[in-house]
Copies of this chain bind each other. A is one copy, B any other.
Amino acid sequence: MRDFSRDHRWLSINTATVRKSAGQELPLPAILEACARRGIRAVSPWRDQVAAIGLSSVSRMVKDLELSLSGYCRGGMFTATDAEGLKLAREDNRRAVEEAAELRAACLVLVVGALPGALAGKAAHKDIGLARGQVVDGIGELLEYARTASMPLAIEPLHPMYAADRACVNTMEQALDICDELDPYRSGSIGVAVDVYHTWWDPKLQQQIERAGGRRLLAFHVCDWLTPTQDLLNDRGMMGDGVIDIPRIRAWVEAQGFAGYSEVEIFSRDNWWKRPHEEVLSTCIERHMSSV
């Protein structure tokens, strides 16, 4: 396992972590500059943050600052109630692949979607099996396109508490079953993003990380699970402040040959988003060295 205690060369910042600074929206250029200034070598930006500035500007900035993208957030949301909805999702996902390629991201992260309408508070139906079928179809179709762009797709299993509204792929095992089905020869074109927040509880986590193998471990995301957790979405903890044994999970991932970035992704409405981003980034660096 790599020694992270001496520097932060393998730290990546998911830009959602500092999308607010002291409660105010922080535009992507300021985030990128703040990261580069601290010797942070990689980021993972969100599509809406990129769209707000413009893809070509962001692309130029990323190059000028010599930043890598540990991933691009995000494709997915494959489910819909009708053919038109599925078509819109397909087109939007193709654009996400193109953007990821332009930004030279290591992978496009997929948050696959769940029951249509549930995120807005009113699910159109209750058939999670149907939603899961649409997800497999959607990923399968996108995979053809992503291969032509040489952009690996990383399925991110989300915590089961998001099964209704954000992602109906909820375990590593389920994600790898999809990978097996769509890419039986493990070409590297599709794999998983392992986020400790979503997967730490899983009694089969180690086994499934070993099943994935190095070629299919495309991203590694860290934050922490707080006790108590006050909010299902926006109360993630800084590494070291919760109950996840992050080094143990990183050891499992690295034992399979994963040698990429540890990407910090913290949604924290009432704590970290209220602090100045300089403090948040400094803390990420510190905790990357002590608690990852």
Q: Which residues of B contact A95 (CB under 8 A)?
A: none
Expressed in whole angstroms, the Cα–Cα distance for A291 and B171 within the complex equals 28
CB distance from A248 to the nearest CB of B (A): 8
Q: A229 — which chain B residues lie within 8 A by C-beta?
A: 161, 232
Stretch among A14-22, A113-121, A260-268, A275-283 lining the B interface:
A113-121
CB within 8 Å of B: which of A95-144? Answer: 115, 118-119, 121-123, 126-128, 132
Of the candidates B119, B132, B204, the one whose C-beta lies within 8 Å of that of A203 is B132
A39 to chain B, nearest CB (A): 29
**Is B121 a contact of A228 with CB atoms below 8 Å?**
yes
How extensive is the interface on chain A, given as a class?
35 or more
Give the contacts of A175-205 with B (CB-CB under 8 A): 200-204
Beta-carbon contact of A227 and B132 below 8 Å: no
Q: Is the Cβ of B227 less than 8 Å from the Cβ of A118?
A: yes
> Closest residue of chain B to A117, judged by CB?
B227
- Annotate A79-108 by CB proximity to B: 1 below 8 A, 0 otherwise: 000000000000000000000000000000
Please determine whether A202 and B160 come into contact, CB atoms closer than 8 angstroms: yes
> Would you list which residues of chain A between 204 and 236 have a CB under 8 Å from chain B?
204, 225, 227-229, 232
B243 touches A160 (CB 8 A): no
- A118 → B minimal CB distance (Å): 4
Residues of B within 8 A of A232 (CB): 161, 228-229, 232
Question: Residue among A118, A160, A171 with the most chain B CB within 10 A?
Answer: A160
Q: For residue A70, which residues in chain B have a CB less than 8 angstroms away from its CB?
A: none
A164:B225 contact, CB within 8 angstroms = yes
* A5 adjacent to chain B (CB < 8 Å): no
Residues of chain A from 6 to 61 with CB closer than 8 A to chain B in the complex: none
For the complex, what is the distance from the CA of A139 to the CA of B47, rounded to whole Å? Answer: 48
Our pick among B126, B161, B165, B228 for the contact of A160 (Cβ within 8 Å) is: B161
Instruction: Give Cα A134 to B204, complex, Å.
Output: 18
Is there a chain B Cβ closer than 8 Å to A159's Cβ? yes
Which residues of the other chain, B, contact A244 by a CB distance below 8 angstroms? Answer: 126
In the bound complex, do residue B126 and residue A245 qualify as a contact, i.e. CB atoms below 8 Å apart?
A: yes
| Chain B residues positioned under 8 Å from A170 (CB to CB) | 201-203
B171 near A203 (CB under 8 angstroms)?
A: yes
- Does A174 reach chain B (CB closer than 8 Å)? yes
20 interchain pairs, CB-CB under 8 A = A115-B243, A118-B227, A118-B243, A119-B227, A121-B227, A123-B243, A126-B243, A127-B245, A128-B200, A128-B201, A128-B245, A161-B161, A163-B200, A163-B201, A164-B201, A164-B227, A164-B243, A165-B227, A165-B228, A170-B203
